Every structure is written in structure tokens, then in C-alpha cells.
Amino acid sequence: MTVTRGCVLLAAFAVIALAVVHLRAEQTRCASRALKIESDCVRLRGDLWSLQTRMARMRAPDRIHDRATYLATGLVPPGTREGAPAGAQRRVERLAANVPARSGRTSEPASVRLQPRRKHTETRE
């Protein structure tokens, strides 16, 4: 009876010990995974910054201007008068004839519009 009880107790201790070891190992694995995710997060932050910078470089007016000129698509960007108005003149003519802008080109949003500032004018006067 005593021997049997002792064996059962030993077995129970062994199972508990194994469970503790297993849980501890699992905890370490999870912690390690968390560490890796944290590292990935930092790396992805860096990648995001790099991509944003790369996108900003591609959106740089100089680069767009050079690309449009290089591709010779006929979509001469505005602001090309050098001595005589070339692309700008065509644009002026188009505007004078009240031809609407191409659908692809959005005009400046109201939030960044330079004019009018009716409220301010009223205050001044």
C-alpha cells in the first residue's frame, strides 16, 4: 500500500515536473517569438521610412519634369518657359479658350487654394 502510494506520488511529481518544463519551454518560445516580432516591427518601421522617402523622391517636381521630358509624351509639365513661353503658352491658350483641364489632373483643393479670401477682403474694407 505504502509502496504503491509512493509510486503514484512519484509519478504525479514526474508529470508535474514535465508539465512545468514544457510550459517553461513554451513560455521561452513565445517570448523569443515576441522578441522577433518586436525586431521585425522596428525593421518594418525602417522599411516604411525608406519607401516613403523613395516615393517622395519620385514625386519630386524636378524628377517628374525630367521624366516627362525624357519620355517625350507631349505632356509637357507646366512651368517651362525659358525666354519664350512654350508649354506655358499652350496652357495659357487652353485656359483662354475655356477648355477644361484633363480629367486626370485635379485642380488645387479648396484647403490650399490661394484665392479668393473673401472674408478677409470684407474685413479689410
State the nearest-atom distance from the C-beta of 67 to other proteins, in Å.
13
Q: Angle at CA 99, nearest 5°, toward 63 and 107?
A: 45
Q: Angle at CA 28, nearest 5°, toward 25 and 30?
A: 110
Please state, as a whole number, how many other Cβ atoms lie within 10 Å of the Cβ of residue 75.
13
Give the residue with the Cβ less far from other proteins, 9 or 81.
Answer: 81
Q: Which of the ranges 2-10, 12-20, 27-35, 67-75 carries the binding residues for other proteins, by CB under 8 A?
A: 27-35
Candidate residues 16, 18, 19, 89; the one interacting with other proteins per rule CB under 8 A: 89
- Residue 116 main-chain phi, psi, to 5 deg: -90, 165
- Residue 108 main-chain phi, psi, to 5 deg: -60, 130
State the nearest-atom distance from the C-beta of 55 to other proteins, in Å.
8
* Distance from the Cα of residue 35 to its chain's centroid: 24
Binding site for other proteins (CB under 8 A): 28, 31-32, 34-35, 38-39, 42, 45-46, 49-50, 52-53, 55-57, 59-62, 65, 78-83, 85, 87-89, 91-93, 95-96, 98, 101, 107-108, 112, 114-117, 120-121, 124-125
